[in-house]
Structure 1
């Protein structure tokens, strides 16, 4: 506020001449009772008087490209709308879970896992290949109820498309859900 007032006063005195990137603060002269304007120091206390310190420093939440003029291809902009459903498979040492998510709204359309009560009672083991096949069949039934017949699957970086993950995807395909697998 002080900076704003002093710069407005400076513009009035000098007829609207701006001195560029430097901002001005008022200081008084030694040998006269007149006041004059001097360039503001970069390291003085007055640098912090006008700053709004009511909010703590926070990082920007959204990811911004290092190059704001970078071209984003048509495919990158439209792939979420052309193939709106994605399959997510999570396998731990104790459980298997899979879900189909709508990419644009980030809502889960169908979910199945070996940790749920109805599947837990039927299976002998909750993390073997038979459990993965059961999760795939149940997920396919729930996806059909939600009118989802196609989905895309991209494995995580640490996952290989073999074994239990492949069993879940294969059981979905066998149950009538068209899965498009993207392998790098």
Structure 2
């Protein structure tokens, strides 16, 4: 506003001020002391021209989830599989150790966990990454999942994993110890 008033004063007569065009500081001083409002109420940075009727807050955006393919049909099975088969088995095998866990799909909480890197299993095993270690991890995971009242789970191997060898030993050990595992191979 000060720039606007200064430009107006400068264009109307240069640096000389007439009685009708007083300086900006005197206008503000007179209006502030009289209790009147000097100018129209302004919003932050003068964005009142850019306010939409749909969005009353400028420079704030509502994040809407837009599907990449709005015509994509989601089947009944895709919508309900997380509730019909709520527990998943995750097996991780590295060169040094083996770990497996059963996770609740909806809440993402781990129900039971077992691994050869834990203190109670590490002391018993001769090697932490061979087939007997995988069988031990499956047996202990089955005991812990039964304590948590989980008797079935779903296992889908990762893209890089093949369902053979150590992974198959963990899953077979779980099945032998009373946990029903459904294996989905792609």
Counterparts of 1:157 and 1:131, CA distance in 2 = 23
Pairwise CA RMSD: 2.4
Give the 5 Å matches for 1:22-171: 52=59, 65-171=67-173
Counterparts of 2:65 and 2:136, CA distance in 1 = 38
- Whose helix fraction is larger, Structure 1's or Structure 2's? 2
Who is 2:40 aligned against? none
3-state SS, counterpart of residue 101 of structure 1: strand
3-state SS, counterpart of residue 126 of structure 1: coil
Counterparts of 2:97 and 2:167, CA distance in 1 = 12
Given the superposition, is the C-alpha separation of residues 97 and 64 from structure 1 closer, same or farther in structure 2, using an over 3 Å criterion?
farther
Counterparts of 1:96 and 1:65, CA distance in 2 = 38
Given the superposition, is the C-alpha separation of residues 178 and 74 from structure 1 closer, same or farther in structure 2, using an over 3 Å criterion?
same
Which ranges of structure 2 fall in alignment gaps of 5 or more residues?
1-46
Count of residues paired in the alignment: 136
Give the 5 Å matches for 1:11-22: none
Who is 1:3 aligned against? 49
Deviations 1:47-97 (A, max 9, x none): xxxx739x9xxxx8x985311232110000000000000000000000100
- Whose strand fraction is larger, Structure 1's or Structure 2's? 1
Counterparts of 2:98 and 2:150, CA distance in 1 = 21
- Per the normalisation by structure 1, the TM-score is 0.68
Counterparts of 1:63 and 1:155, CA distance in 2 = 30
Decide which structure has the larger Cα Rg and report it. Answer: 2
Which ranges of structure 1 fall in alignment gaps of 5 or more residues?
9-50
Counterparts of 1:114 and 1:170, CA distance in 2 = 17
Deviations 1:138-158 (A, max 9, x none): 000000000000000000000
3-state SS, counterpart of residue 107 of structure 2: coil
